[in-house]
Amino acid sequence: RHEPLLAPSLLASDLANLQATAETLAGAEADWLHFDVMDGRFVPNISFGLPVLEALRPHARQPIDVHLMIEQPENYLAAFRDAGATNITVHYETCPHLHRVVEQIKSLGCTAGVALNPATPVSLLEDIAADLDVVLIMSVNPGFGGQTFIPNTLRKVAALKELLLDQGSGALIEVDGGVNETNAGPLVEAGADVLVAGSFVFKSPGGAVPTLARLRKKLR
Ligand code: DX5
Ligand code: ZN
């Protein structure tokens, strides 16, 4: 079993202190910083966007993994690249011209991810899998941190793993929503390469740094 990348989700952190959080995470067991953008249209919540990413960027040591939960993401790709995105993930459900959007992300010099809501089957990615750097499986309905992990995700990750192998795709499998110490091991067994965790990392009593260290050790 391989060791997954860990991507703490800043949404669950103290948003009045993003600089301090980024500096703390610089020395922590964090591989990517996960940045959740919500528009109040595609998802029933509004988080933060371009100016916040731009403010965060000079303080961030790790690559920034931008998760766009917004309609018409194609209108904002260049702006997110300019603001500091390393990876840009768009939702399958927001992109009738997904292939074009993926090519746009890559032509900007970012890696490209596609996210699937819990009810969206992995089979829909068959014809685009080989073009992707990341597939993000939502293990909750997007829009809020702190929700409960949907158990069917494990089967979905395993099915995606098989699809990626069939299609000769090297895309990383990322899982987002309700990830914790209990489901992390099974997720990696099923094929997950990147684990996003918000509440578990930032709301654990020990604090983010020891929690990430514990998770890393457990997955080793
Ligand atoms: C949910 C976001 C997630 C969220 C994860 O819409 O995409 O990244 O921050 O938070 P937890 O780990 O608390 O479910
Ligand atoms: Zn996310």
13-33: pLDDT as tens digits: 999 999 999 999 999 999 999
Identify the pLDDT of residue 14. 98
How many other C-beta atoms can be found within 10 angstroms of the C-beta atom of residue 1? 9
CATH topology classification for 5-218: TIM Barrel (3.20.20)
Ligand 1 atom having least distance to the Cα of 146? 13
Handedness of CA 96, 98, 101, 105 (dihedral sign): positive
Identify the pLDDT of residue 110. 99
Domain boundary assignment for the chain: 5-218
The first and second tokens of residue 123, run together, are 């089979």
Q: What is the DSSP annotation of 77-111?
A: HHHHHHHT-SEEEEEGGG-TTHHHHHHHHHHTT-E
Predicted TM-score (pTM) above 0.90: yes
21 with 52: CB under 8 angstroms? no
Nearest ligand, CA of residue 87? Answer: 2
> Does residue 133 have an active-site annotation?
no
This model of the complex carries an ipTM of: 0.99
Exactly one of 31, 65, 133, 176 is catalytic; which is it?
176
86-120: pLDDT as tens digits: 999 999 999 999 999 999 999 999 999 999 999 99
Q: Which residue's structure tokens are 């965790």?
A: 197
